């Protein structure tokens, strides 16, 4: 069993930066893939980024590529999402997710953290 807790959300002006953190506890050794998703009001949940904890390969949504960076500190059991050049359309609740396989299926989800970008 794994618990994921996000933090770092808040209000930021367009063009600014935020760093989200996702702390994992429990059977963290079972996690192979960590991902970030977001959901804006009235919209479907959207994939943002993922990282494979073994090897460190990363994948990004086109909408955030070049602006966001996902990273993993395995010793701390923590995954980060560095968000730069934020735009109002980035406003959403951001969720951390973990998968025990590298197939794109996520088994664990955090509660989410609100990111609001003002113009």
Which DSSP string corresponds to 37-105?
EEE-TTS--EEEEEEETTT--EEE-TTTTTTEEEEEEGGGTEEEEEE-S--GGG-EEEEEEEESSSSS-
Stretch 36-50: mean pLDDT? 97
Stretch 8-31: mean pLDDT? 96
Confidence of residue 56 (pLDDT cuts 50, 70, 90): confident
Q: What local confidence, expressed as pLDDT, does residue 83 receive?
A: 98
Q: What local confidence, expressed as pLDDT, does residue 16 receive?
A: 98
Q: What local confidence, expressed as pLDDT, does residue 85 receive?
A: 98
72-107 pLDDT tens trace: 998 899 999 999 999 999 999 999 999 998 788 999
């Amino acid at each position: 069993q794994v618990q994921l807790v996000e933090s770092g959300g808040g209000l930021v002006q367009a063009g600014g930066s935020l760093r989200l953190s996702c702390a994992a506890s429990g059977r963290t050794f079972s996690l192979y893939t960590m991902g970030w998703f977001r959901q804006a009001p009235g919209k479907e949940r959207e994939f943002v980024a993922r990282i494979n904890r073994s090897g460190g390969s990363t994948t990004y949504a086109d909408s955030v590529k070049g602006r966001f960076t996902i990273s993993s500190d395995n010793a701390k059991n923590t995954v980060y999402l560095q968000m730069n050049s934020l735009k109002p359309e980035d406003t959403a609740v951001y969720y951390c997710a973990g998968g025990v396989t590298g197939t794109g299926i996520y088994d664990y989800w955090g509660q989410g953290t609100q990111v609001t970008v003002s113009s």
